[in-house]
Amino acid sequence: MDDADPHIHVERSVTRYDARARNLLAGTFGRVGDLPETVDTGCGLRVPYAMTSSRPESVTCLACREHARAQHLRLAEQIERLGSMPGAALTADQAGQVADHHRDLARRFSDGG
């Protein structure tokens, strides 16, 4: 356990474990993956999946918190853009709700634990 990392990280692609975003984006881009054993983190490490969390309150790695915050903000913008597209898989209202969800997560990641 010499190289044991005490921090909890976020997975680099925060959308993968977010079911709502995953379904939305998969419906659009056709990409859904199974959860892997190890994952790339927002701070550039590769750690067991168990050492990551999608809950802002659980993530102790500062670089990952910043990464996740940026990812959630970007995702919120992407989803709002999707909702405004003709023939979108979701209405503007639904898109707004999901975007709000991600903005809220971004806010919690910026609270510093």
> Where do contacts with Zn ion occur on this chain (CB under 5 A)?
9, 41, 43, 61, 64
* Shortest reach from residue 108's CB to Zn ion, in Å: 16
CA distance 68 to 76: 12
Q: Which is nearer to Zn ion, 41 or 78 (CB)?
A: 41
* Shortest reach from residue 62's CB to Zn ion, in Å: 8
* Shortest reach from residue 31's CB to Zn ion, in Å: 24
Pairing relation of β-strands 38-40 and 46-48? antiparallel
* Shortest reach from residue 97's CB to Zn ion, in Å: 29
Q: Which is nearer to Zn ion, 11 or 18 (CB)?
A: 11
Give, in order, the Cα–Cα distances in Å from 92 to each of 79, 84, 85.
9, 6, 9
CA distance 70 to 65: 9
Q: Which is nearer to Zn ion, 45 or 98 (CB)?
A: 45
CA distance 74 to 80: 10
Q: Which is nearer to Zn ion, 26 or 43 (CB)?
A: 43
